[in-house]
Structure 1
């Protein structure tokens, strides 16, 4: 029979244990009580992970930290596993004589293990050990069994409390995201708030947000919390070749217990350097369309629960809405700016009509004076005369266009247009020590607006020359492909910045300090008037290639 003094001690310890609802504190108080009542050398409390069927040490006394983290038992394995499987306590006076014993501490001589049972289901095991043989009595087993019976219910209450607290935090975090949606439409601030909330909510070391690029084939880091510059500067991830890309492909969450041991993880060295371990990645969806992922990493191994996965997924759903709203707002601002630019163009158009009228009179005088001069170099004289005629035709064409009169198309050899236009920049190419490489294959004639076509190529040539301030090579090629005449103009200049590449053909977009940003806008308009298309390929510090494709019309 258990002595009254020990029962009183057990009662007092039970009161202390039941005074808190913090799960980790409850577990610590239980093992402290078990070790104190039995005067054990060491003790541990193991809980069963229902997903894996593994017993993990949750709290321990007297064991080195490495033993605590590395000890994992299957149900039925060792004395502890046997107790978990049978649901019965066991008292082992001499562990060396028990075949079930797994040596964890070489100094242990005796062991007492009792199950934690809740509603007829074993949820864990309380163990106490001693360096003395036969250190525990039947009375000790009864006391620990009583303690375990009371503690199982307390553990359940603590876990219910923790779950409730999680729900409250979840609602609070989702409410905060909702506030971000309504309070700010600044995309950068929205992204930063999301990763900050994700780290706080999931209690993780690092959280990051990655969005799909415009092509949908790469994930780009847009915001990071807790990762530092090494993580922030990670290269983009290919959707088809990366583990996290799997989230995009399947539209389902991804869990990895330890990315440092995962062969398919792209940045193993970085994971070890930054201290990343377990990963949970969830998709961000907008109307069944995935726009990116939220990643969260722990510093130590952690099996994410279904509740945690649902929580981060809920956060991702709210985040996707916030991001889409911010993007729509940015597009609206962009449209407003384009409307203002269009208004500017309207004013410039009115001014241009007046300028065209003023140019025509002095142009006529210049032409008359030119014919009265004697120029020795007939080639130069021909070029000057042709360009004066071209200027006159441009002014006439512009005024006709302003009055609503359409210019007439003519059958032209595009190679001849290219040759004539290159003559105009020949002097500048020589002056800036630039090489010219021409590959002009025979072409069929096509219907086009001669002056506009010449203007198109002249603007592209000048644009290429301006990009090669310190010299370089200008490549011009032409060929007939699939019903189109294709002209490529390639420079070896500085390239086009990614920030403006998608807007390069819009009015007033330029990289030049003194440029108006109208040249490529005119080029784009002329190409569209010919029902053609223009594409640009650019690499920073290597150069840019503009490809103009004009439809072929068969000459009868």
Structure 2
């Protein structure tokens, strides 16, 4: 139907009823805000046969009308195009609470062009306020590409559609708010469930970061923990951010936005990171499309231990409700960290009891073996050997206290035990050097303890018997690996083994044999070929290492 006949169609009561029927049907089929907006604009433009229908919603935070939906204006302007109250013809309609219709909109003194909307293609404009029970909901306008004279029936119909739309939009906003609260509560419940489940801490924190990004509608989140000694923040977990964020960790507390939250104990928000002078990584923010930022301190027992950061891919002012929600997530994260620490402390106590029991059994085994040779050794030598063996176990426990019960570097343990053996066994008037070299071997603590004790016995044997008639010498410990075995060699350039030598004649070597068997390995010792001294070799099958014992 041609546009010029439109006024007569609207003035027909039956046509008006059909139009209202179509509007009511469209509104009844929409529930969420997004669908309701588009149903209203599309149906209004269709029943009134106009070129464009647009809806602006009143945003209390920004104190402005924000373009949310349109059939004719550019979608690029959605959520970006804004009018202040009373600004433009549409803003004037909401401010006055009355409809405004203009034949030549561009030449009206109230007209305000919004960049990016492609609104220059339109000539005539009519706007109505969207008010429900005295509450400002927004404003709706319709436009034509040709100059158009607005008739009273058209304005009456537009006002009636506006009244229906205002109520529908208010309900949709309430439903969206309720749905958002349900989602928030569901996510918080899931976070609470996650922090009580028996999963590893890293996995738990990753799940919390992912859920936080969902609930905050954020591009990414990150958890940073505070290293008090170095005054630095280290990235512990993240979701939705590029790997480059890990590269900028650790972060200096004194000069960073996150550090500001740590130091003040209060949340820190930034409207746009890309234009924030105090943000050091503006180039990274531009590459990733990061804009608004919220950093929330994470506290355990009144002490700030880190910060939880939220990154949005849009410019946004965080509301008190959003800040409070993110604070709740930060508190849940603190609970997760505290639970993990308590669990770890409990595990450490149980593991320590287990280690002490095993090592006391090892000491008892060594003493029983020494008891068989007690008549061949004087008390001083016997006690010194026992002390050295216990000190080698102590070296392992010292490493455990620093590194926890994860896999350990055997080379460092051997280095510690070797240093103590050299201090107590090397003759003060002789120049005997001791060196540990080669690859590091990473093992769980129990086999690491056994291997260190075996090597310690070989070092003690070389220091005690290898240099009786020489003034200087060297002991070298070499660690190697091949496809199937760990190979540890202890060699010296001393006098070598005597004729008719047997491993059974030496308590220390019998102990090495026992320890090698515990590791399902083999032990050999012989004179070095073509050189002075001895070469002792431990060959141990490789042990599968998973990262934790």
Q: TM-score, structure 2 length as denominator?
A: 0.64
Question: Following TM superposition, by how much is the alpha carbon of 1:54 offset from its aligned partner in structure 2, in angstroms?
Answer: 2.1
Question: Following TM superposition, by how much is the alpha carbon of 1:174 offset from its aligned partner in structure 2, in angstroms?
Answer: 2.0
Q: CA deviation digits over 1:328-351, x for unaligned, max 9?
A: 112221222222233344344445
RMSD: 4.2
Residue pair 2:422, 2:434 contacting (<8 A) in 1 also: no
Match of 2:34 in 1: 24
Does residue 41 (structure 1) correspond to residue 51 (structure 2)? The answer is yes
Question: Following TM superposition, by how much is the alpha carbon of 1:2 offset from its aligned partner in structure 2, in angstroms?
Answer: 4.6
Residue 260 of structure 2, aligned match among 241, 246, 259: 246
Match of 2:500 in 1: none
Residue 3 of structure 1, aligned match among 12, 25, 33: 12
Residue 188 of structure 2, aligned match among 141, 162, 174: 174
CA 1:103–1:241: 2 relative to 1, 3 Å: same
CA 1:324–1:456: 2 relative to 1, 3 Å: farther
CA 1:294–1:18: 2 relative to 1, 3 Å: farther
Match of 1:327 in 2: 341
Residue pair 1:110, 1:134 contacting (<8 A) in 2 also: yes
User: Any idea what SS the aligned residue of 2:93 has?
Assistant: helix
Match of 1:264 in 2: 278
Question: Following TM superposition, by how much is the alpha carbon of 1:89 offset from its aligned partner in structure 2, in angstroms?
Answer: 1.7
Instruction: Note the 1:462-477 alignment, pairs <5 A.
Output: 469=437
Match of 2:505 in 1: none
Residue pair 1:78, 1:102 contacting (<8 A) in 2 also: yes
CA 1:307–1:357: 2 relative to 1, 3 Å: same
Match of 2:126 in 1: 112
CA 1:121–1:168: 2 relative to 1, 3 Å: closer
Instruction: Note the 1:374-385 alignment, pairs <5 A.
Output: none
CA distance in 2, matches of 1:359, 1:238: 61
Does residue 154 (structure 1) correspond to residue 168 (structure 2)? The answer is yes
Match of 1:193 in 2: 207
Question: Following TM superposition, by how much is the alpha carbon of 1:132 offset from its aligned partner in structure 2, in angstroms?
Answer: 1.6
Residue pair 1:44, 1:127 contacting (<8 A) in 2 also: yes
CA distance in 2, matches of 1:307, 1:146: 35
User: Any idea what SS the aligned residue of 1:145 has?
Assistant: helix
CA 1:208–1:397: 2 relative to 1, 3 Å: closer
Match of 1:84 in 2: 94
Match of 2:330 in 1: 316
Question: Following TM superposition, by how much is the alpha carbon of 1:239 offset from its aligned partner in structure 2, in angstroms?
Answer: 2.5
CA 1:204–1:362: 2 relative to 1, 3 Å: same
Q: CA deviation digits over 1:293-346, x for unaligned, max 9?
A: 333333333444443333333233223212211221122212222222333443
Residue pair 1:509, 1:518 contacting (<8 A) in 2 also: no
The runs of 5 or more residues in structure 2 that have no matched partner are 1-9, 392-414, 428-432, 457-549
Q: CA deviation digits over 1:159-216, x for unaligned, max 9?
A: 1111211222222212222222332252122112211212222333222222223548
Question: Following TM superposition, by how much is the alpha carbon of 1:23 offset from its aligned partner in structure 2, in angstroms?
Answer: 0.7
CA 1:457–1:198: 2 relative to 1, 3 Å: farther
Does residue 395 (structure 1) correspond to residue 384 (structure 2)? The answer is yes
Residue 224 of structure 1, aligned match among 214, 224, 238: 238
CA distance in 2, matches of 1:94, 1:111: 8
Runs of 4+ in 1 over 4 A off after TM superposition: 348-365, 391-394, 396-399, 451-458, 464-467, 507-514, 516-519
Residue pair 2:273, 2:285 contacting (<8 A) in 1 also: yes
CA 1:3–1:219: 2 relative to 1, 3 Å: farther
CA distance in 2, matches of 1:251, 1:18: 48
Question: Following TM superposition, by how much is the alpha carbon of 1:24 offset from its aligned partner in structure 2, in angstroms?
Answer: 0.7
Does residue 65 (structure 1) correspond to residue 75 (structure 2)? The answer is yes
CA 1:240–1:214: 2 relative to 1, 3 Å: closer
Match of 2:547 in 1: none
Residue 340 of structure 1, aligned match among 338, 348, 354: 354
Match of 2:85 in 1: 75
CA 1:98–1:516: 2 relative to 1, 3 Å: farther
Residue pair 1:207, 1:294 contacting (<8 A) in 2 also: yes
Match of 2:61 in 1: 51
CA distance in 2, matches of 1:260, 1:329: 41
Q: How many residues of Structure 1 are paired with residues of Structure 2 in the alignment?
A: 411
CA 1:353–1:176: 2 relative to 1, 3 Å: same
Residue pair 2:235, 2:250 contacting (<8 A) in 1 also: yes
Question: Following TM superposition, by how much is the alpha carbon of 1:453 offset from its aligned partner in structure 2, in angstroms?
Answer: 12
Match of 1:443 in 2: none
Residue pair 1:42, 1:129 contacting (<8 A) in 2 also: yes
